[in-house]
């Protein structure tokens, strides 16, 4: 067991604990290490006490404390590649965010940042994979409001608890969404769309029930007094592709993923879902401006780590992510696709998530949204 923890914590763990392994090392084959200071002696006493009194469980906790203390004392972190799980398709808005930010973090850390797209079950597969990862700072998740705050209301038997099973790291901002249609649909404004939708049956696509594309359309239908039929897809990219192909007429989708198609004429953008116009597409009105007063929606995005990640590691990750978000090249790249950068502390992000679970859960219940079978 000690060897397994040492592989994660680093080669100095044995010495920090005041013990050294022999060549066949295991917990039962440890020999005392020389104590070089009163601090070393104190750490050794704590190690021995943890083993003799608390057993393996207390020993594991002590090792986490020692690992966090090493980071706090200025030891390098990270010392190997960092994996960022993205529970959405490659090419989605969050995937774009993760790759742009990851490139800057790799520069800051001098370590590779690997984006791992774990798609499926309305993001549950990716979120569960993150929860089950070692709480050592080397596996993070970038997720949004749909994955973290809406799913708890859609799926009462999730294999994790978002509040208890994660250590929030930082909010990084908001993905704006565009309401887009296929160019063959004979509407060029929100008022024309509302009139058109009231006269016939229309479908709309999303990345899945309870997704960041589904909820704003439910809000739109309620405020505009129209009825559209929801067609949930297994991911946002297939849904966008079907709008481009004319298989479904419209949807809300993240600006980073659809703006190139709008500029190429493959999609028509009628409005932006945020409370104010975007500097990237200043000619596109907000949904509220275009005829649906009171409407605004933006999908927040942030980083989390598995619960139990040492506080000094969380604090360093937060500081480095905020540094990356303030870099001019990151602001330029993400700003160019309509991403609204905002950051906060780990504690603030944790409180935000808890609040959003309540707020978005109420919207889900009031709209009668049910998980797809």
CB 180 within 8 A of CB 243: yes
- Choice among 30-44, 194-208, 275-289 with the minimum mean pLDDT: 30-44
- At 15, is the pLDDT very low, low, confident or very high (cuts 50, 70, 90)? very low
User: What pLDDT, on a 0 to 100 scale, did the predictor assign at position 25?
Assistant: 37
User: Quick one: what percent of the chain has pLDDT higher than 70?
Assistant: 79
b or e along 305-342 (b: 16 or more beta carbons within 10 Å of the residue's beta carbon)? Answer: bbeebbebbbbbbbebbbebbebeebeebbeebbbbbe
CB 299 within 8 A of CB 177: yes
CB 276 within 8 A of CB 286: yes
CB 260 within 8 A of CB 230: no
Asked if the model's pLDDT at residue 68 lies above 60, the reply is no
User: What pLDDT, on a 0 to 100 scale, did the predictor assign at position 99?
Assistant: 97
- Give the domains, in start order, of the chain with CATH numbers: 2-72 (no CATH), 82-173+301-366 (3.40.190.150), 177-272 (3.40.190.10)
Asked if the model's pLDDT at residue 344 lies above 70, the reply is yes
Angstrom distance (rounded) from CA 46 to CA 48? 6
| DSSP letter, residue 29 | S
Contacts of 157 (CB under 8 A, 6+ apart): none
CB 86 within 8 A of CB 55: no
- Which residue would you say has higher pLDDT here, 29 or 147? 147
User: What pLDDT, on a 0 to 100 scale, did the predictor assign at position 116?
Assistant: 98
Asked if the model's pLDDT at residue 224 lies above 60, the reply is yes
The overall pTM is greater than 0.75: no
Q: What are phi and psi of 298, to 5 degrees?
A: -145, 135
Omega within 30 of 0 (cis) for the link into 78: yes
- Choice among 56-60, 127-131, 150-154, 183-187 with the minimum mean pLDDT: 56-60
CB 79 within 8 A of CB 10: yes
Mean pLDDT across 71-86: 82
Q: How many other C-beta atoms lie within 10 A of the C-beta of residue 88? A: 30
């Amino acid at each position: 067991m000690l060897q397994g923890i040492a592989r994660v914590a680093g080669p100095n763990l044995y010495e920090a604990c005041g013990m050294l392994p022999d060549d066949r090392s295991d917990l039962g084959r440890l020999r005392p290490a020389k104590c070089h200071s009163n601090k070393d002696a104190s750490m050794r006493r704590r190690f021995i006490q943890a083993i003799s009194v608390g057993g393996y469980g207390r020993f594991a906790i002590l090792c986490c404390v020692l690992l966090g203390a090493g980071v706090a004392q200025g030891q390098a972190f990270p010392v190997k590649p960092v994996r960022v799980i993205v529970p959405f398709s490659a090419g989605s808005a969050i995937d774009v965010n993760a790759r742009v930010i990851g490139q800057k973090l790799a520069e800051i850390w001098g370590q590779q940042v690997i984006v791992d797209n774990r798609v499926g079950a309305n993001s549950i597969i990716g979120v569960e994979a993150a929860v089950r990862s070692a709480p050592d700072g080397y596996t993070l998740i970038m997720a949004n409001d749909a994955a973290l705050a809406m799913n708890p209301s859609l799926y009462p038997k999730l294999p994790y608890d978002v509040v208890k099973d994660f250590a929030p790291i930082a909010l990084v901002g908001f993905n704006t969404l565009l309401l887009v249609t296929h160019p063959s649909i004979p509407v060029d404004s929100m008022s024309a769309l509302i009139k058109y939708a009231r006269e016939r049956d229309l479908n709309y696509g999303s990345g899945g029930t309870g997704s960041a594309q589904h909820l704003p359309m439910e809000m739109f239908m309620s405020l505009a007094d129209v009825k559209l039929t929801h067609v949930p897809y297994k991911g946002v990219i297939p849904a966008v592709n079907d709008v481009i192909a004319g298989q479904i007429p419209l949807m809300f989708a993240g600006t980073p993923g659809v703006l190139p198609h709008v500029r190429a004429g493959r999609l028509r953008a009628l409005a932006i879902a945020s409370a104010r116009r975007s500097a990237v597409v200043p000619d596109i009105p907000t949904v509220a401006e275009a005829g649906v007063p009171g409407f605004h929606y933006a999908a927040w995005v942030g980083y989390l780590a598995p619960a139990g990640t040492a506080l000094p590691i969380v604090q360093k990750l937060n500081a480095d992510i905020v540094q990356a978000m303030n870099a001019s090249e990151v602001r330029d790249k993400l700003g160019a696709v309509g991403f609204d950068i905002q950051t906060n502390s780990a504690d603030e992000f944790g409180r935000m998530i808890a609040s959003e679970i309540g707020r978005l859960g109420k919207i889900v219940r009031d709209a009668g949204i049910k998980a797809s079978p």
